[in-house]
């Protein structure tokens, strides 16, 4: 058994400013990678800029990262980074900017290579990366993974390189500007990480400690989250600072869990649903969790997961998820394509400890 967690993670109020020296120590000029709106609205981009300015570090901003970032966008950011001679990258936002930052750091560090290296098993180094998460979902600040959209194949896939951030700066105040839909979808993504990591070929008593911690955090706030959904207003009007702190902790802990195991079937099934139907990633993953628990063959492990979440049964969990997420209509043609795709995805199948067949997978759609 092995535990390997090389990222230096800080989690506290005013985290970026408190650790501006560690951020500045990563290089002499930063490429700030973010989306168009949220990092400006929640103050995270301004905090990073101020921290770098106070430490005398110059920077350039690339703010064109879309949801589910594409290879094309990564290459556009690479061009800016190379032209500006940056020597480290800061991802600011949700999973999309944080994942993109890792891929961009790889491409900027190798300016003579084209995008084909993203999915080649070769030895390349990346620039140092810092991450400032502003959603409580992907845990990308604590993982080496970078998932990009591949338009040519109409799907998503993690790049071939494991790029751990050197530094992660977590501050739950950035969550308070999120909509209820974003908060729910990202939280469910983190929940899927915890469940898929615990029920995984690569799970052991060491790395399951991360999943257990995260599942207990979810149990402590799942009723608050559901009440917030029912209320339908802004989360900051109904959720306490303590809940926001737990959401951020849960997300990072879930990232630490999948760092050691990777994800499994629900994530694999989600990619086509997101690409073809535009369903947000967390929701697309979440709709497959009840089926995953229902048909997982080691029932005692399923009961352990349910106990950690404080659900009496899979039916209780399913009822909760249906109300929290709603349902997604998947056509027969898309579902057939999705099942065929996952049956050809050896990376996901090998993380499922038992033999999986198409007949069982078809039952995952409810």
Residue 211 clears pLDDT 90, i.e. is over it: yes
Residue 233 clears pLDDT 80, i.e. is over it: no
Report helix, strand or coil for 295: helix
CB count within 10 Å of CB 176 equals 17
Q: Is 37 exposed, middle or buried (0-12, 13-18, 19+ CB in 10 A)?
A: exposed
**Closest among 13, 19, 6 to 43, alpha carbons compared:** 13
Residue 1 clears pLDDT 90, i.e. is over it: no
What is the C-alpha to C-alpha distance for residues 282 and 302, in angstroms, rounded to an integer? Answer: 21
The angle, 0 to 180 degrees and rounded to 10, between the axes of the packed helices 180-198 and 265-277 is 150
What pLDDT is attached to residue 241?
97
What's 150's DSSP letter?
Answer: E
Q: Which residue has the tokens 């480290």?
A: 88
What pLDDT is attached to residue 136?
93
What is the C-alpha to C-alpha distance for residues 219 and 214, in angstroms, rounded to an integer? Answer: 9
Q: Residue 221 — pLDDT band, cuts 50, 70, 90?
A: very high
Taking residues 140-155, what's their average pLDDT?
92
Taking residues 100-119, what's their average pLDDT?
97
Q: Residue 155 — pLDDT band, cuts 50, 70, 90?
A: confident
For residue 105, report the phi and psi dihedrals to the nearest 5 degrees.
-60, -35
For residues 30 and 59, the answer to whether their CB atoms sit within 8 Å is yes
For residue range 183-194, what is the model confidence (pLDDT) as tens digits? 999 999 999 999
Residue 144 clears pLDDT 90, i.e. is over it: yes
End-to-end CA distance of the chain: 37
Give the helix ranges, DSSP H, for the chain: 15-18, 20-24, 38-41, 44-54, 71-83, 95-109, 180-198, 208-231, 235-238, 241-261, 265-277, 281-286, 289-295, 299-309, 314-325, 332-343, 346-349, 358-362
Taking residues 98-112, what's their average pLDDT?
98
What pLDDT is attached to residue 2?
78
Taking residues 170-185, what's their average pLDDT?
96
What pLDDT is attached to residue 121?
83
Residue 352 clears pLDDT 80, i.e. is over it: yes
What pLDDT is attached to residue 263?
95
For residue range 236-278, what is the model confidence (pLDDT) as tens digits? 999 999 999 999 999 999 999 999 999 999 999 999 999 999 9
Say what percent of the chain tops pLDDT 90. Answer: 92
């Amino acid at each position: 058994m092995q535990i390997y967690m090389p990222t230096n993670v800080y989690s506290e109020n005013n985290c970026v400013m408190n650790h501006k020296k560690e951020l500045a120590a990563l290089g002499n000029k930063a490429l700030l990678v973010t989306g168009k709106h949220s990092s400006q609205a929640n103050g995270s981009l301004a905090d990073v800029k101020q921290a770098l300015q106070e430490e005398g570090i110059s920077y350039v901003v690339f703010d064109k990262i879309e949801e589910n970032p594409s290879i094309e966008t990564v290459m556009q950011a690479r061009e800016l980074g190379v032209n500006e001679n940056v020597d480290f990258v800061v991802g600011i936002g949700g999973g999309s900017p944080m994942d993109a930052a890792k891929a961009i750091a790889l491409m900027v560090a190798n300016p003579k290579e084209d995008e084909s290296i993203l999915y080649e098993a070769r030895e390349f180094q990346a620039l140092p990366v810092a991450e400032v998460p502003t959603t409580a979902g992907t845990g990308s600040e604590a993982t080496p993974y970078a998932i990009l959209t591949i338009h040519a194949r109409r799907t998503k896939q993690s790049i071939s390189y494991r790029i751990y951030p050197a530094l992660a700066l977590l501050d739950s105040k950035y969550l308070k500007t999120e909509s209820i839909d974003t908060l729910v979808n990202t939280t469910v993504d983190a929940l899927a990480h915890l469940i898929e990591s615990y029920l995984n070929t690569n799970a052991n008593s060491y790395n399951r400690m991360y999943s257990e911690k995260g599942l207990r955090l979810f149990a402590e706030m799942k009723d608050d989250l559901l009440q917030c959904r029912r209320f339908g207003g802004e989360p900051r009007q109904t959720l306490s600072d303590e809940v926001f702190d737990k959401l951020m902790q849960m997300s990072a802990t879930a990232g630490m869990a999948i760092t050691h195991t990777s994800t499994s079937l629900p994530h694999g099934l989600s990619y086509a649903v997101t690409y073809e139907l535009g369903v947000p990633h967390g929701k697309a993953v979440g709709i497959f969790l009840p089926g995953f628990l229902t048909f997982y063959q080691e029932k005692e492990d399923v009961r352990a997961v349910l106990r950690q979440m404080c659900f009496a049964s899979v039916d209780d969990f399913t009822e909760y998820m249906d109300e929290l997420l709603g349902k997604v209509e998947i056509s027969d043609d898309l579902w057939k394509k999705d099942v065929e795709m996952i049956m050809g995805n050896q990376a996901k199948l090998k993380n499922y400890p038992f033999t999986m067949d198409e007949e069982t997978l078809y039952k995952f759609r409810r």
